[in-house]
Structure 1
Amino acid sequence: MGDYYQGEYIQQYLCNINLRKKIKELLKEKTEILQKLEQLEKDGNNQSFEERKKRLRSLASEIQRNFECPLSRCGKKYGSEGSLNQHIKLKHPELVNKS
C-alpha cells in the first residue's frame, strides 16, 4: 500500500512541476503582451482606444429632414427612412398593425 501512495505522490509532484512551467510561460507571455500594448499606445498618436473609436456626428441643425410622418396631425420629419420607421413603430403602432 505504501507503493501506491508513493506513486500518487510522484504523479502529483510531476503535475505540479508541469503546472509551474505553464505558469512561468503564461507570465512571460503576459509580460510580452503588455510591452507590445505599451508600444502600440505610444505609437498611436497618444490617443486612447475610446478617443479613436468615436465617430463624427452631424449637428441636429445640419440634418436635412426629407422623411415626413404620414399622419398629417403629427408633422414630424426625419433625416433617414430608418428613423421615420422607428418613429412610426413607437408613436403610431396602429399604422404598423394595419399592414
Structure 2
Amino acid sequence: MGDYYFEFIQQYLHNVNLRKKVKELLKEKSEIQQKLDTLEKEDKNHSFEERKKRQRSLASEVQRNFECSLNTCDKKYGEGSLNQHIKLKHPELVNKS
C-alpha cells in the first residue's frame, strides 16, 4: 500500500508543478500577445513611405559610368552595380583574383 501512496503523492506533486508552469506560460503568452498587438497598431500608423528602407533611384536617373572589363561584354553600370554584374555574370573573373 505504501508504494502506491508514494507514487500517488509523486504524481500529484508533479501535476501541481505542471499546472503552475502552464499558468506561467499562459501569462507570458498573453503579455507577448499584448506587446505584439501594440507594435502592430504602431506600425499601422506609419505610412509606406516612412517605412521604406532607403531611397532608390530610377533606372533613368542612374549615371552608367562603369563599363564591364570583359571584351565580349559591352554593358555599363552605375556605381556598385558593376561588381554585382561581374560576380553574377562572369564568376570566372572573381575566382581568378
TM-score (norm 1): 0.69
1:1-99 counterparts in 2 under 5 A?
A: 2-47=1-46, 52=51, 54-81=53-80, 83-99=81-97
User: Which ranges in structure 1 are unaligned for 5 or more consecutive residues?
Assistant: none
User: Which ranges in structure 2 are unaligned for 5 or more consecutive residues?
Assistant: none
TM-score (norm 2): 0.70
CA distance in 1, matches of 2:38, 2:95: 56
Q: Which runs of 4+ in 1 moved over 6 A?
A: none
Count of residue correspondences: 95
Letter in 2 for 1:85: N
CA distance in 2, matches of 1:37, 1:69: 48
CA distance in 2, matches of 1:35, 1:5: 45
Moved more, 52-61 or 17-26: 52-61
Q: CA RMSD in A?
A: 2.8
Letter in 1 for 2:33: L
**Change beyond 3 A, Cα 1:95–1:39:** closer
Q: String of CA shifts for 1:64-90, please: whole Å, max 9, x gaps.
A: 222210134422111234x32332233
Moved more, 68-77 or 16-25: 68-77
